[in-house]
Structure 1
Amino acid sequence: MSKDYVTEYAKKVVSGKILASKKNVKACQRHLDDLKSTDLPYHFDVEKADHVIKFLQMLPDPKTGKIMKLAGFQKFIVGSLNGWYNKEGNKRFTKAYISMSRKNGKTLIVSGLALYELLMGKDPINERLVGLSANSRDQASIAYDMTYAQLSSIRRVSPKIKGITKITPSAKEIEKVNDRSKVKAVSNEASNLEGHQFSYAIIDEYHEAKDKKIYETLRRGQVLLHNPSLIIISTAGTNMNGPMYEEYQYIDKVLSGNAENDNYFIFCAEQDKEEEIYDPDNWIKSNPLMEISELKKLLVKNIQPEVKTALDSGSGLNGILIKNFNMWRQASEESYLDFNDWKKNEEDFDIAGTKVYIGLDLSRADDLTSISFVHLNETNKQYYVTSHSFVGTKGGLQGKIERDLIDYYQLAKDGYCTITDLSSGIINTDQVLDYIESYVSKNNLDVQAICYDPYAIHGVLAEMERRGWYYDLHEIRQGPATLSNPTLDFKLKVIDGDVKHEKNPLLDRAVKNAIAKDTNDSIMIEKKMHREKIDPLMSTLFAYVIAYEHGWDDEEVSMPIFI
């Protein structure tokens, strides 16, 4: 008789019997809701889910040699992946996102799943290829070595398994000889992967990936399969411009019901708030192995000193939050804004008829030209930011895309930027001014001022006059005397929730890239690398220099100090 461990765990999490992250509560509720759904074209097969659980519980832990006893969350993961099917018998979940703090057995689970697919898989019947991939060959070897150790233990006690498998350690390859299926360790070198059809692909520590090359290569090889599987497995990281963080944002939409994807399995164990790190009873949210009491004692014993040291020293907390509590943090603790503070203020707002301050950061070719509109929400005494950027093509747009790691084609298609129409590749300022005119007219905006950086303003002011623009013009020089107070005030208002903004990937990226430089008690922002764009944020701050002088009708506002 098979036992439904998956549903049992889901019920414990949803009821609160097992404490879990908000995302995992939603993931468990999703499972329970799907069991009751009459519209979902999938059913849950308890026997198939139990089969993979029993298989993994026959495998030895590579480090101890003892048979693995799966925790409830591990049964939930492997049972979900192998228990949901459609009426044709094909798997529901073709993609998975599995994330938790380090030392919680995620790689061990995946190595066991790889071995299960090699020995038990049926699609295709012959020559299945299981890829254990990562950013580096050393990282890919970790999961492979676990799979190798588990299979070696089985071969010692099972002549049948020994007879149908072959291990080639030098090639990091395991073969099932009777159907020519293989498990291979591969690194993030797309040229080595092209042409392979990985029916079951695993990307380990995906947070280290700088682009989607390996993901796209693995996925392309699966398009003709009925039961492809691509599993992303990783802790959180610092690269908030990378593909893993894009997935992290997307899974939140799926779990919240704002995006529909029935074929994506999600398990994300993380702390919901930074304050939770002070109470070890909350740590199970990001360290689900704490479900097992003896392992909870061990994890608390090992993590607690690291947390105390980081808190006492006031440094290194980012590393603790990422690795021990699976929370995304920016690479530099000098970051101007915590991106989580920024992102929580993203919302829609009706800008029609609002008073607006326009910030203009011009470039000629290499950087972006950006316009930002700081609207006044006079009802709530808040600011609302919208933005648009212009992209030069000098030197070739494709090269710029690869250098900046930004898909300007797609962003232009989505309406977040405009690509220059000049054959020279430099920014066409007529396009910039046309955009401002159209935006102001379409939304019936009451323009209070245009605030601009004097660099590269050549001829633009004259063109504004020729167009009959009679707005107040403010030159914003890039120096602490002008920018320090507004820059600090803007940051504080973001934290307090008094600066809201539209969804805008280029403005988001600028916030992620900006670091704060403190010089002589003045704050300025800059970027670490040339290709890291902060222009949309700079144009926002230019507008805010004058916007934050605005006095709401019933309050007195302190004016900035200009030296």
Structure 2
Amino acid sequence: MSRAARVISFLQSLPITKGPLAGKKMKLLSSQREFVEAIYGDLDDKGIRRKRIGIKSEPKGNGKTGLVAGLVLAHLLGPESEARGEVYSAAIDRGQAALIFNEIEAIILQTPAFAARVNIQRFMKKIEVLSGDGMGSIYEAMSADARRAHGLSPTLFVYDELAQAPNRVLLDNLMNGLGKRKEALALIISTQAPDDSHPLSQMIDDGLSGADQSMFVQLIAAPMEADPFDEATWFACNPALGKYISLKEMREAAARARRIPAFEPSFRNLRLNQRVDARDNDRIVTGAVWKLGNQPVDRTSLAGRKCFGALDLSAKHDLTSLTLAFPSDEEEPLFDILQFCWTPAGTIADRQASEQERFRDWIRAGHIETTPGATVRYEFVASELSRLAREFDIQVIGFDRWRIDEFKVDLREVDPDFPVPLEPFGQGFKEMGPACDWFAELAVTGRIRHGGHPVLTAAVAGAITTKDPAGNIKLDKAKSDGRGPVRIDPAVTLVMSLALAKRFEAVPVVDVDDFLKNVVIA
């Protein structure tokens, strides 16, 4: 038998421990078989497995827990075991970690040949192999709140539902240990994360690009343009539907999502495995809508076009944002967007590890500019604004009143003849309500061209709205900050700049001679 065939044979020898099929042997779905063959069947000429990372992303309920348990046992007691191996399953919390451990324990207890070879430490969620293949190996269920992942050298780790992890700390600790074993393997089995910025989304996109030949990604998901309520869509992305996913339950969930819009995002994310946030009803626009504007913006072509700016200074230690919106001349204009961001160089190291990495990448790529020291130097921003005011035909710059007086002092010192008027823009429902509506209308109709600027995209992805009793919406910084990889200041200045462009009315130029010709003297 081939290596992949041995793993498949082992998995299909294991008992099903619960549900309507309890007592029968596991039978792999075709998609599960394809995943195992891709991971364990791709060998070099020395028989060494080429794949070091495998990602299987599919809707909930498609046999994930049983597959995870079987693969753990294959590396602990079965054909992939090795002496003194280290096998781990990782999960978002202790409860999820316990579910995986409980399934593994149940399989062992129903297989006398396994039970006789291991010592199960239920309280510690740990299993030790005492004899036979894999002797001296250990398995442990770890949760994201565990801190002992440092220094491990796993032969296998399986991360269950990485999409639910709030950060990548545990993932990074486990990944860093892979290089200590000749054939270490990382398997991630999860529904999709809600947005492109999540570590799981980045890994899926990288794997599907083919850039890393050591990674295999099996993504089973409904296309974003598919009808989420069409049963054909459900069957296309749920291999177990009608087998051990109840069609009746799926129909009930779909009817609820159709009837109550608040349930639709979670239905699409969990049941169709689409990259949709369950909180999308609170977002100003969805990720799919925002992607409509991911078209290149040619900065050189914007010279001479009128534009409208908005500035948010934020706190001195965080992100300062300036957005310039350039409307085209059509009756229904398309808006080209330029985004500028500044952050103090001295505070990068104080950010969380994943945030540091993101900020450093953006800084290297020129999407964020650093100011010297530990705070945003307003005179530095003032100098940049003065330069931009002479590069572009800026009609007005709206501002949030936060710290604006201090900034005006710096601006006068840098450029006493600054040519652009500054205009306050309120952050309450009165001004932000119509501004948010206008932004949403432009985004939905594909009339914002932003070039996929990553900092602006991250800010829009994290922007959460709140409503007043009359139904007006505004961006809620308190709810938004901490939900995405950056604060939402760039999203705020984008909304402001577009609103200023809409309400701006140029004073018409009147030819006096033509006017007098048409004057009728009574």
| TM-score normalised per structure 2 | 0.84
Q: 1:247 to 1:504 in 2, by over 3 A?
A: farther
Verify: 1:128 aligned to 2:48, yes or no: no
- The partner residue of 2:11 within 33, 50, 56 is 56
Query: Is residue 214 of structure 1 aligned with residue 174 of structure 2?
Result: no
Deviation at 1:241, TM superposition (A): 8.0
Deviation at 1:480, TM superposition (A): 3.6
Question: Corresponding residue for 1:264?
Answer: 215
Kindly provide the amino acid, as one letter, of the partner of residue 186 in structure 1: M
- Taking a change above 3 Å as real, the CA distance of residues 440 and 106 of structure 1, as seen in their structure-2 partners, is farther
Per the alignment, residue 525 of structure 1 pairs with 475
Change (3 A) 1:189 1:504: same
The 2-side partners of 1:428 and 1:548 are apart by 31
Task: After superposition, give the CA deviation of every residue in 1:19-67 in whole Å (9 maximum; x if it has no partner).
Answer: xxxxxxxxxxxxxxxxxxxxxxxxxxxx222221121111111210210
> TM-score, normalization: structure 1?
0.79
Counterparts of 1:388 and 1:88, CA distance in 2: 52
Contact 1:352 1:445 in 2 (8 A): no
CA distance, structure 2, for counterparts of residue 340 and residue 314 of structure 1: 17
C-alpha separation between the residues in 2 aligned to 1:302 and 1:521? 34
Change (3 A) 1:481 1:108: same
How many aligned residue pairs are there?
488
- Cα displacement (A) at 1:320: 2.1
Task: Indicate the larger mover: 493-502 or 271-280.
Answer: 271-280
Distance 1:401 1:165 in 2: 40
Q: How many angstroms apart in 1 are the aligned matches of 2:316 and 2:351?
A: 11
Deviation track 1:335-384 (CA, whole Å, cap 9, x = no partner) reads 21112211342232212131232221113425421111223455894212
Matched with 2:511 is: none
Q: How does 1:386-465 map to 2 (within 5 A)?
A: 386-392=338-344, 397-401=348-352, 407-422=358-373, 425-436=374-385, 445-465=392-412
Q: In structure 1, what is the equivalent of residue 40 of structure 2?
A: 82
State whether residues 385 and 501 of structure 1, in contact with CA within 8 Å, keep that contact through their aligned partners in structure 2. Answer: yes
**Change in 2 beyond 3 A, CA 1:307/1:274:** farther
Which of 201, 206, 209 is matched with 1:248 structurally? 201
Q: What residue number does 2:258 align with?
A: 311
Q: Secondary structure at the match of 2:240?
A: helix
- Asked whether the 8 Å contact 1:357–1:543 carries over to 2, the reply is yes
Alignment match of 1:539 (pick from 481, 493, 500): 493
Task: Report the Cα distance in structure 2 between the residues aligned to 1:71 and 1:402, rounded to whole angstroms.
Answer: 39
Secondary structure in 2 matching 1:503: coil
Within 5 A, what are the aligned runs for 1:136-147? 136-147=93-104
2:320 matched residue in structure 1? 369
Matches of 2:69 and 2:236, distance apart in 1: 23
Aligned-partner SS, 1:58: coil
Report the equivalent of 2:235: 284
Shift of 1:106: 1.4
What letter is aligned with 1:172? Answer: K
Aligned to 2:72: 114
Structure 1: any 5+ residue segments left out of the alignment? Answer: 3-46, 553-563
Alignment of 1:515 with 2:464, yes or no, is yes
| TM-superposed deviation, 1:437 | 5.0
1:325 matched to 2:272? The reply is: yes
Distance 2:193 2:110 in 1: 34
Q: Match for 2:16: what amino acid?
A: D
Among 466, 469, 482, which residue is 2:418 paired with? 469
Change (3 A) 1:313 1:337: closer
1:351–1:375 CA contact under 8 A, matched in 2: no
Any stretches of 5+ residues in structure 2 without a counterpart?
A: 507-522
- 1:173 paired residue number: 126
Segments ≥4 residues shifted beyond 6 Å? 402-406
**Structure 1 vs Structure 2: percent identity of aligned residues?**
22
Match of 1:503 among 442, 452, 455: 452
8 Å contact 1:360–1:371 — kept in the other structure? yes
Q: C-alpha distance in 2, partners of 1:323/1:295?
A: 18
Structure 1 pair 226–375 and aligned structure 2 pair: CA distance change class (3 A)? farther
Instruction: Give the aligned residue type for 2:338.
Output: T
Q: Distance in 2 between matches of 1:525 and 1:457?
A: 20
Distance 1:406 1:359 in 2: 28
Q: Distance in 1 between matches of 2:204 and 2:149?
A: 26
Residue 128 of structure 1 and its aligned partner are, at CA, apart by 0.8
Amino acid at match of 1:518: K
Seen in structure 2, the aligned counterparts of structure 1 residues 190 and 413 have a Cα distance that, compared at 3 Å, is farther
1:139 is aligned with what amino acid?
Q
SS at 1:114's partner residue?
Answer: helix
Q: Distance in 2 between matches of 1:491 and 1:151?
A: 55
Query: CA distance change for structure 1 residues 165 and 275 in 2, over 3 Å: closer, same or farther?
Result: same
- CA spacing shift, 1:378–1:79, aligned 2, 3 Å: farther
Residue identity matched to 1:107: T
Name the Cα RMSD after superposition.
Answer: 3.0
The equivalent residue for 2:283 is 335
Cα drift, residue 415 of structure 1: 2.4
- Cα separation, 2, equivalents of 1:439 and 1:116: 62
Tell me how far apart the structure 1 counterparts of residues 492 and 174 of structure 2 sit (CA, whole Å). Answer: 38
- Relative distance call for 1:406 and 1:360 in structure 2 (3 A) is farther
Per-residue deviation at 1:72?
A: 0.7
Shift of 1:247: 2.6
Residues 1:438 and 1:80: Cα distance change in structure 2 (over 3 Å) = farther
**Cα gap change, 1:93 to 1:436, in 2 (>3 Å):** farther
